[in-house]
């Protein structure tokens, strides 16, 4: 039987916190210090002390500006992987031109997930608003962000329209909290 939520342990590993950031903030320690002790510094503190190490460095980057290699068997960074032809994007739009692929988030006509970007999903009539704004007109619903559970689109947030006690107040009478 599970303990009630208030008595469950935190999922964050509190044993590995950055020694330089404590007690101001709790930052995960993933880098060694200057004496070789493992996992005692966070990335910004390791950079300050000069013991930051790039993991899986790109073989094509210059020595003074190494980036992590994530492509081609962890040999190349994204920029050099594109130059060497081993860059493979996951979830890219199938209709975007080869040089300018965008992230696909919408399914196609056959129900296959993550096939089209927003632009091509609208062109193919596959676009569906996933979280509609509750203040937009019914015939023109826009995608809303769930800011504090209000389900409003960015246009309504910028206008300052919000619900308080079931009434709409103009932008001049209150500040919008995000």
pLDDT at 57: 92
pLDDT at 167: 39
d(CA 129, CA 133): 9
Q: Say if 67 falls within a structural domain.
A: yes
For the chain, the first-to-last Cα distance in angstroms comes to 38
Write out the chain's pLDDT in tens, 178 residues: 444 444 444 555 567 888 888 878 888 888 999 898 989 999 899 989 998 888 889 999 998 888 988 888 889 998 898 888 887 777 889 999 987 888 898 888 888 888 999 899 989 988 888 778 778 888 877 777 766 556 666 665 555 444 433 434 444 444 444 4
d(CA 104, CA 120): 9
According to DSSP, residue 41 is labeled: B
d(CA 133, CA 136): 6
Q: Say if 70 falls within a structural domain.
A: yes
Indicate whether 49 and 60 sit together in one domain: no
Q: Say if 160 falls within a structural domain.
A: yes
**Which domain, by its residues, includes 72?**
56-88
Q: Say if 133 falls within a structural domain.
A: no
Asked if omega into 23 is within 30° of 0 (cis), the reply is yes
pTM across the whole model: 0.44
Q: Say if 19 falls within a structural domain.
A: yes
pLDDT at 142: 79
Q: Say if 30 falls within a structural domain.
A: yes
Strands 167-168 and 163-164: antiparallel
Q: Say if 1 falls within a structural domain.
A: no
Residue that has been written with the tokens 């129900």 in this structure: 111
pLDDT at 62: 92
Phi and psi, residue 100, nearest 5°: -135, 60
Indicate whether 156 and 145 sit together in one domain: yes
Question: Taking a C-beta distance cutoff of 8 angstroms, is the pair 146, 140 a contact?
Answer: no
Q: Say if 6 falls within a structural domain.
A: no
Count of structural domains, the chain: 4
pLDDT at 150: 64
Indicate whether 120 and 93 sit together in one domain: yes
Indicate whether 103 and 120 sit together in one domain: yes
């Amino acid at each position: 039987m599970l303990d009630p939520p208030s008595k469950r342990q935190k999922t964050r590993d509190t044993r590995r916190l950055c020694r330089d950031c404590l007690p101001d903030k709790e930052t995960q320690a993933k880098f060694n210090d200057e004496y070789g002790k493992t996992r005692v510094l966070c990335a910004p503190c390791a950079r300050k002390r000069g013991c930051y190490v790039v993991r899986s460095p790109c073989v094509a980057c210059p020595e003074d500006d190494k980036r992590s290699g994530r492509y081609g068997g962890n040999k190349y960074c994204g920029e050099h992987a594109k130059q060497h032809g081993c860059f493979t994007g996951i979830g890219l739009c199938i209709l975007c031109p080869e040089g300018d692929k965008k992230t696909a988030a919408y399914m196609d006509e056959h129900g296959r997930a993550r096939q089209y970007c927003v632009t091509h999903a609208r062109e193919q009539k596959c676009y569906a608003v996933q979280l509609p704004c509750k203040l937009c007109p019914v015939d023109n619903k826009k995608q809303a962000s769930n800011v504090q559970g209000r389900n409003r689109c960015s246009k309504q947030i910028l206008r300052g329209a919000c619900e308080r006690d079931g009434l709409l107040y103009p932008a001049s009478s209150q500040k919008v909290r995000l």
